[in-house]
Structure 1
Amino acid sequence: MMRGMKREDLAEASVKARQDQLDRWRTEGLIPDVYQRTPALDYAVDIRAEQWDRKFDPIRQAVEHKTLEIDVLNDADKVINVREPKDPILPDMGPEEVEATKSRVSNVLSMLGIEDMRLVRKFPVCEFTFGYSRVESGPRVSRDKTGEMWEMPVKLNLFPRAYFHEEHVQPIYVMKQDNEAFYVRLDENCVRAWLDANGIAYDLPAPTSRLGAAIIDGYHTTKPEGGGFSSWLDEYRGNATPESRNLCSYVYTLLHTMAHQMMHSVAQVSGLELGSLTEHIFLPDLAFVVYRRGTTMDLGYLSSAWRMATNSTDGNLVLSSMLDPTSLRCGSGALCDERGGACPDCILIPEVCCISRNNLLSRSVLRGMAKPHWDVAIPRDQTIEGYFEIVRRTRRAAREAA
């Protein structure tokens, strides 16, 4: 504000006072050294004045994750840690079977490179839509269907405005529910090892910084070609450039593919339809949530599915099936194995359920095959290392060192 009023003296005094306060808090231990302002972070915050509503923005996702952590994840009444299962997700077992189940579940989570996984009993969901009655007769657009040109209307006829608080407003239909969800956060050391193995460069603002700091600093919301995402991720469909190979795109693809892999596993084990599940991704925190959609009835389906899939022999079939070699192979083969993509026989879900319209998906990031199709910075025949294989190497090296 002072700079806008051409009062540079007051602006500099304000900056100095703010920095002095931060230094005092850091000296007193109120702020860990990991939280440090950087020029890149200052720039990232400043350019978001008109971009705050973009759903792929890692700063927004970091705020959303912190809100979820405070309101839900820290509430013991709403969350069950799957490493320490209890009712209602633990079937009737004896003490020895319970301990064997805990050990096997923890082991599979370690093999999946998952650091934290919880069942959220009350995950707040809010879905909204505009109401419309029919399609307008115009304007019309021509589309080629079965070799013939068809004219199709393209404008929806919204419900008429409602009179509310002495003004006419457009009605929006909202539904709120507390559904069940699986919260998953990957092991940062494994993710870093996977990025290093595939030659994905990134710079940490400070030696003690987490990977999320590098993701936020490296994301340019106004320059999709330089590390950010556009509104519809069209640059990862058919217009990829060498700049598409960056930290954000690879980490997002890993989280997104893992979320779809889990949804397919849940659907296979429980019998739930894929269309009844959806996702949300928290890029800088290396986390994602798979949950029941707000438009479907939720009667404890996820907790029931987890309970039925839990036993002392396998630990949990939802997790073990994610590592099953058959679940990591594509039914069509060529698209995923040779082109590094995804298809309906693979890990695609209905587009209305996917947060990014089935963009930034590749089975290669899990099992290691052909590079993602949008990565044009490396030769076409070059393969990439799979996350699961890197996790196995990391765990093996840790055991040998111990």
Structure 2
Amino acid sequence: MSGKANQFGDARSDWGRSSGDGETKEPKPPTMQRSRSQIATAYAPGVLLTWEGGRGICKSVPIRNDLKNTLSNTTYQMILDGIGETAESWMARVRVACPDAPAEFCLDTAFLDIHSGNAVVDSSRFAMTGPDVVGYVPYPLLYQCAECKSVREFRSVADQAVNGLPKCEGHVSRWMQVDVVYAHWYGTVEPLSPYNYRFDNETQQVAALRTCGCGWPHFRLKNDAPVFAEWKYSCESCKEIRDLEKAEPNVLEKLFIQQQRTGAVFQKIQTNMLPVSYRASSTFYPQRANFIELKSSAVVDLMREARQEELLRELARLHRIPIEEPSEEAIRAAVEAADRSSEWVEYCDYIDMLQVRAARGDDTRRQQQAINEIRAKWFDEDIIEKGTVASSGVTRAVAVRANWTRRYDPVRLTIEHAAFVDEHIRGGLETKKAVDVMHPDVTLSSAALIREELERYQKAVGEVLSLTGVEQMVVLRGLPICDYSFGFTRVSATPVYNREFQNRNVPMPVRLVAFDPLDDGKRPIYVTQQNNEAIYVKLDEARVRRWLAANSVDDLPPEGVGLGRAYLESYEDFGPFLDDFKDKDRQGRERRLAPFVYMLLHSFSHQLIHSLADASGLDRDGIGEYLFPADLAFTIYRKGMTPDLGNISAMWRNHAMDFLRRAVDQRMLRCGSGSLCDSRGGACPACIMTSEVSCSSSNLLLSRSALKGGGGPEWEAGDMADLVGYFARRLDK
């Protein structure tokens, strides 16, 4: 037990005081301030908390604090897209384990189209909120006298403020909150009251039972036993004993109605809530995510179905895919045939102006824009045919990508990488917010001040980068990270909770719940933004090609065709859970380019995360990763929302060579649990795995053998040759 009742129950002036006309005011919750990260997670709406000293249990509630004009349209849409992907994959995972679960058992209505039963994130249902303040209300409103064990429950804060707690007979009352609650995977938490629910066949609704069978409303809680299973309620009048049992009302109602319609019989374990301490983590698991912010609207706009043609052309530009354009003579003939000769003259004038200005070294963007607009107009009006991208595979990818898992979609990631490089690499190098490690400034290396030392530094760093097949490595000093939380779950942090029943595990659908609504009914999304340090790595394409060839990857493209283009052409959807790449008794999959490239980048990323954590003192779980597979690049970054102390810059300044050498150190490349991963071609927590919260791919498509060589991944056939590691000396030029 914790918290004295008079802290809440007797504070009638603060909660629900009656007005002059006899009506009770709507109680307004007080507020508290914590760090932005804490309010977005540990104190998010729905959390049960207590104050220092354990005096009183409360539940946090949302307070309006709109983020106005602080989020770019791109960031706003990326948040909604991320939540939408989470909701879709959440429902898909529930349906795998519980195929008959109703849609509302999987997702809160805020994430659901109730008509189609599909996951939908409608922006009008949500409000982007700054996590600067949160409210709190007393909860649970269930009290027990420590002397006589009698319990009393109030239906609301106003009810408690008006009626107060009674005085016990024969002793001094010692009312205290009951610090155990009922929790259910539907997302519900209720006081540990003796009252239950029943389904009324006449009204077809669930009704609350608030008395004993004898009609008496009051009970005593016998809770001296150390385990909840031995706790009992007894009626103060007839002394009837009842177990701690309470149904979740929404689930009970839905299953009863379903049973009447279909005859499907349900079990009590589906409806009964679990008694847990309010302090237990199972009462609240916040759902959050983060991403790298980008200013370019292309990362959102080009993904729309109506922009497929522009998307295809942009992919062709980025991956050097030829476009078979109609000749100028064919264009002229088509335009004149459409009686648009004046437009052809204007078009030629702009071309002449562009050539003259280009010869003088002047800016030609205005002329090029005018030329593009005229050509686009002719394309849109079907006067001339658009050029054809010389890759049917990439054209197919653009057409079918709508069904791909967003997280691994190489088309989207290619566009994001282009924006990332433009804004944070090229732009960062110009503004000194990024530093190429081969050309350090004085804040990154003292060697930058002395020519001889700089040459020695560049030789040492360059040798290690060459050995590890890295074409470019850049330290980013101010990478904008957006962190957001949008809901929670109870009982389990994952979509499925396996409840033990009669010596078997029964899967239960865990509901993804949005935060409680604000005063206008919108659900808050807590958003925090911060610039953190990061390391960007781009691999040497020639070495990657040699690595793929050494491992006999089937769809390696011919010379002259870039690996990025080949990745897009050969990619098949990985799926939301990478099921095809789980260890399932040697599935016998062939060695294909896309999964092998992804596995290489993912394994390299994890290797550097471990090296960075060891060299900088950062927590591994506090380091995030973002992979751009078609561009053979990735970035690892500090995820924290606390002030950035320059850990990565300081690490490079003091331990650069140690950090780099760890990547190829044979001791660091061995599995810490013996030869398990070395022989089986996988990874484990003792080597390069990270927590699933930090890993972008749930520690799948990950193998230390991709770097050092060894047994092939377990999704291959058992008789496949061992992998040649990316760091193997035979791959050196």
Matched residue, 1:104: 460
Matched residue, 1:332: 673
Indicate how the Cα distance of structure 1 residues 156 and 60 shifts in structure 2: closer, same or farther if over 3 A, else same: closer
* 1:124 counterpart SS class: strand
Matched residue, 1:360: 701
* 1:231 counterpart SS class: coil
* 2:727 counterpart SS class: helix
* 2:408 counterpart SS class: coil
Matched residue, 1:264: 610
Q: Deviations over 1:26-51 (max 9, x none)?
A: xx9x9xxxx95311111111112454
Shift of 1:251: 0.6
Q: Deviations over 1:279-311 (max 9, x none)?
A: 00000000010100144542211111111104x
Distance 1:306 1:208 in 2: 37
Distance 1:70 1:21 in 2: 31
Equivalent residues in 2 for 1:212-231, closer than 5 Å: 212-220=564-572, 228-231=573-576
Structure 2: tracts of 5 or more residues without a match = 1-322, 332-350, 356-367, 369-387
Shift of 1:70: 1.2
Tell me if structure 2 keeps the 8 A contact 1:125–1:294. Answer: no
Matching residue within 386, 390, 401 for 2:725:
386
Q: How many residues align?
A: 349
* 1:48 counterpart SS class: helix
Indicate how the Cα distance of structure 1 residues 62 and 143 shifts in structure 2: closer, same or farther if over 3 A, else same: same
Structure 1: tracts of 5 or more residues without a match = 1-16, 221-227, 311-315
Distance 1:302 1:358 in 2: 24
Matched residue, 2:474: 118
CA RMSD of aligned residues (A): 3.1
Distance 2:547 2:642 in 1: 37
Matched residue, 1:211: 563
TM-score (normalised: structure 2):
0.44
Determine whether 1:250 maps to 2:606.
Answer: no
Matched residue, 2:309: none
Tell me if structure 1 keeps the 8 A contact 2:587–2:714. Answer: no
TM-score (normalised: structure 1):
0.78
Q: Deviations over 1:117-140 (max 9, x none)?
A: 10011112112221348569xx99
1:108 is matched by which residue type in structure 2?
Answer: V
Matched residue, 1:57: 409
Distance 1:203 1:134 in 2: 47
Distance 1:133 1:384 in 2: 41
Indicate how the Cα distance of structure 1 residues 151 and 46 shifts in structure 2: closer, same or farther if over 3 A, else same: closer
Shift of 1:153: 8.3
Q: Deviations over 1:242-297 (max 9, x none)?
A: 34531111111100000000011111112211011010000000001010014454
Indicate how the Cα distance of structure 1 residues 83 and 121 shifts in structure 2: closer, same or farther if over 3 A, else same: same
1:104 is matched by which residue type in structure 2?
Answer: A
Larger radius of gyration: 2
Determine whether 1:196 maps to 2:556.
Answer: no
Tell me if structure 2 keeps the 8 A contact 1:176–1:294. Answer: no
Q: Identity, % of aligned pairs? A: 38
* 1:160 counterpart SS class: coil
Distance 2:589 2:612 in 1: 35
State the structure with bigger RCO (CA 8 A, min sep 6), 1 or 2. 1
Q: Deviations over 1:60-104 (max 9, x none)?
A: 111110010111111222210001111321136744323211110
Matched residue, 1:79: 434
Distance 1:237 1:293 in 2: 27
Matched residue, 2:483: 127
Distance 1:387 1:200 in 2: 14
2:603 is matched by which residue type in structure 1?
Answer: T
Distance 2:597 2:423 in 1: 26
Distance 2:489 2:562 in 1: 49
Indicate how the Cα distance of structure 1 residues 163 and 115 shifts in structure 2: closer, same or farther if over 3 A, else same: same
Distance 1:349 1:133 in 2: 23
